[in-house]
Amino acid sequence: MTAASTVKTKAKRPGKAASNGAVTLEYSLAELPSAQHRAGLAGLVLMLRWLERQPGSKPGVCKLARLDNRGAAVTVDLDGLRRIFDETYGATKELQPRKQLWKDSDGEPVDPVRTEVHEITDAKGKTKIEKLYYYDVVVPRAGLIGAAEPSSGDGSTPWTKLWRDFLWEVLRGVPMSRTPFVARANNQPTKDALEAWTSVTGSAESSVDLPSTYYLGAQAKTAENVAVRDRTRYQFLLHFWPYAAQIYVPRVTKVKDGETEFVGYAIAVPDIAALEDFCDELREALRSREAKLAGYRPAAAVIDLPAEGALDLARRLDEQVATRLGHQGTSDLVLGYEVFHMDKVGKNVRLRGVSRVEPERRMIDAYVQLRGLDLWSPFFRRQRLANLLAERPWYAGFDRLIETLAQDDRTIGSVPFRHDARVSFNAARKASEGTMKQGEGQEKEPKGLEELIHQVMLSYVIQKLDSKHGLRRNEITDDGGKKAFDDKKHKIAKDAFLAVRSRTGAAFVDYFAGTLCSVTQRLSKPDYLLLTQSLKTEHERVRTLTLLALSAVS
């Protein structure tokens, strides 16, 4: 992608013409200007491999002349390019129901193929009549995507549907941009292959506009009013990047009513470093995806933050490499991931955000561990993911989150939140124990601050139960006594939680030392020194951990 310039360079042929009229196009990853272009080259390789595996006659020439980790050479003629485009933009017609009549560009109703009337009963038992209008709908064929669809057992293809929906709502969200698909579905002649042929066989330095149909986030001009353009031979690759990128669905839970909704699509575009290896691993990594649904979307495609898509794709590639080669590591395959959060609002496609994630081995491992915790609260899960992506401690930012969420049903009053706090502290303790085992034989280290705060809060709550209510867990023998114990325990923890939430700075330090530490605390000297030093120099950190620990023990 380049801005328009008045500098002229000597034009040259982009490919080597063969005697049969075919042209060999040479591409290297290093020359390509963006991650989307590099993903486009991978998508082209995947498409050529897919076409080679298909049965039947194969008109024209379209084949890989060379493929290695640095790039590829593609030999095509016009008929071969038509075959590539016919598959890339292949589409069929399916009869699908609609609850409303379609209208044409003049606002006039379009006659349906057929109409059906059904009698349905709603959740309240009320019967009503529903009318459905059936229309022929153009559906992208997506043969290459369907080839990587995991087996669902019932014949459904949720991953292919997700890809088609993304294509129709984002890349081809404007009906006029769907012309290549519509023409093929109607068996009409097309000219896109001829236009592409003219581009790739013309001047290597010629340039064209860069529309958002091909390049996510494209704009006509920069802030300095300079037109943004692309070389024609590079833009050719942008037809294929959707076959190498992965589509996810961000979900948002409303704070007010707790309802969850899907918000657009997160597109994880890999910035490929080793072309051949990446193409070898991607197909099998996709086939290992799960077919389980969350609503009408694949459950494994539903994420809490758009950037999580990068972590999930990195995880899948990592697992595939480990399965095939016996070791883990994808840094040689991919430099990073560009994640675009796109959403269609009305008739407009909106770019909600763009981020670049470059997950290292440690971050991928931490993401795998985080997934294994099975966190229940969407608010807790989002904060932990945000901390992981920003490389902050797992508990960072929870003080601000707790201050803004309702305590009755979102934090300490929420079973999912308390569960997540408990398993997070347990995971932190196990990680600390693993580190200590690696250093056996050395002088005993003090506990980590997370474990220490959790121990202090647990001691406070248990001893208050004993001194105030005469309740001891080991003396309870019936369900009624257990319920009373749990209710009193929760109230003591909640009262302390609210007291801590309302105090900051010196007021919090005084409350922590004067109230929470008023009971007997069995601390070693190193632990005591760590706690007192942290209260002096990191009281906000101690406050955050205290709020979480009280949630965990409540």
In this predicted model, what pLDDT tens digit does every residue of 344-396 receive, in sequence order? 888 888 999 999 999 988 999 999 999 999 999 999 999 999 999 999 999 99
Nearest to 405 by CA among 420, 389, 422, 390: 420
Task: Compute, in degrees rounded to 10, the torsion defined by CA atoms 358, 362, 367, 370.
Answer: -150
Mean pLDDT of all residues belonging to the chain: 88
Angle at 484 between CA 480 and CA 486, to 5 degrees: 115
Give residue 159's Cα distance to chain centre: 14
Backbone φ and ψ of 289, nearest 5°: -65, 160
Same-domain status, 425 and 535 = yes
Same-domain status, 548 and 438 = yes
d(CA 11, CA 452): 69
Per-residue pLDDT for 443 more than 70?
Answer: no
* pTM of the shown model: 0.88
Same-domain status, 13 and 63 = yes
User: What's the pLDDT at 91?
Assistant: 96
Are 70 and 38 in contact by the 8 Å Cβ rule? The answer is no
Nearest to 141 by CA among 233, 51, 234, 215: 51
On whether residue 184 sits in a domain, the answer given is no
- Residue 498 — very low, low, confident or very high, per pLDDT cuts 50/70/90? very high
For residues 119-131, average pLDDT: 82
Better-scored residue on pLDDT, 449 or 222:
449
d(CA 465, CA 315): 45
- Tell me the β-bridge partners of 247: 267
User: What's the pLDDT at 435?
Assistant: 57
Which residues, other chains included, contact 17 with Cβ-Cβ below 8 Å and sequence gap of 6+? 23, 201
Nearest to 448 by CA among 431, 461, 462, 463: 431
Same-domain status, 99 and 224 = no
Per-residue pLDDT for 545 more than 90?
Answer: yes
Per-residue pLDDT for 436 more than 60?
Answer: no
- The neighbour count for residue 17, using CB atoms within 10 Å, is 12
Which residues, other chains included, contact 516 with Cβ-Cβ below 8 Å and sequence gap of 6+? 456, 457, 460, 496, 546
> Quick one: what percent of the chain has pLDDT higher than 70?
91
On whether residue 207 sits in a domain, the answer given is yes
User: What's the pLDDT at 328?
Assistant: 55
- Residue 430 — very low, low, confident or very high, per pLDDT cuts 50/70/90? confident
On whether residue 415 sits in a domain, the answer given is yes
pLDDT digits (tens, 9 = 90+) for 223-234: 677 777 888 889
pLDDT digits (tens, 9 = 90+) for 233-255: 899 999 999 999 999 999 998 87
HEC secondary structure over 413-462? CCHHHHHHHHHHHHHHHHHHHHHHHHCCCCCCCCCCHHHHHHHHHHHHHH
- Residue 71 — very low, low, confident or very high, per pLDDT cuts 50/70/90? very high
On whether residue 162 sits in a domain, the answer given is no
- Residue 220 — very low, low, confident or very high, per pLDDT cuts 50/70/90? low
On whether residue 15 sits in a domain, the answer given is yes
The CB-based long-range contact list for 10-13 (8 Å cut-off, 24+ gap) reads 10/205, 11/203, 11/204, 11/205, 11/206, 12/203, 12/204, 12/205, 13/201, 13/204
On whether residue 176 sits in a domain, the answer given is no
Better-scored residue on pLDDT, 9 or 451:
451
d(CA 154, CA 156): 6
Same-domain status, 236 and 255 = no
Same-domain status, 232 and 262 = no
CA distances from 261 to 121, 252, 364, 381, 411 (A): 25, 6, 27, 16, 21
Question: Can you give the residue range of the structural domain that contains 289?
Answer: 245-372
Chain length of the chain: 554
- The neighbour count for residue 110, using CB atoms within 10 Å, is 10
For the record, the structure tokens of 342 come out as 């796109």
Q: Which of 372, 391, 418 finishes a domain? A: 372
Better-scored residue on pLDDT, 225 or 497:
497
- The neighbour count for residue 491, using CB atoms within 10 Å, is 15
pLDDT digits (tens, 9 = 90+) for 84-96: 999 999 999 999 9
pLDDT digits (tens, 9 = 90+) for 269-320: 999 999 999 999 998 899 889 989 988 899 999 999 999 999 999 999 998 8
Per-residue pLDDT for 200 more than 90?
Answer: no
On whether residue 384 sits in a domain, the answer given is no
- Residue 330 — very low, low, confident or very high, per pLDDT cuts 50/70/90? low
Report helix, strand and coil shares of the chain as percent, to nearest 5.
45, 20, 35
Per-residue pLDDT for 5 more than 80?
Answer: no
Q: Which of 122, 138, 154 finishes a domain? A: 138
For residues 152-180, average pLDDT: 91
For residues 115-123, average pLDDT: 84
Task: Compute, in degrees rounded to 10, the torsion defined by CA atoms 491, 495, 497, 498.
Answer: 130
Provide the number of structural domains found in the chain.
4
Same-domain status, 237 and 362 = no
User: What's the pLDDT at 13?
Assistant: 44
For the ranges 15-24, 118-127, 458-467, 514-523, the lowest mean pLDDT is seen at 15-24
d(CA 273, CA 461): 54
Strands (E), 23-80: 23-28, 62-67, 71-76
On whether residue 217 sits in a domain, the answer given is yes
User: What's the pLDDT at 12?
Assistant: 42
User: What's the pLDDT at 226?
Assistant: 72
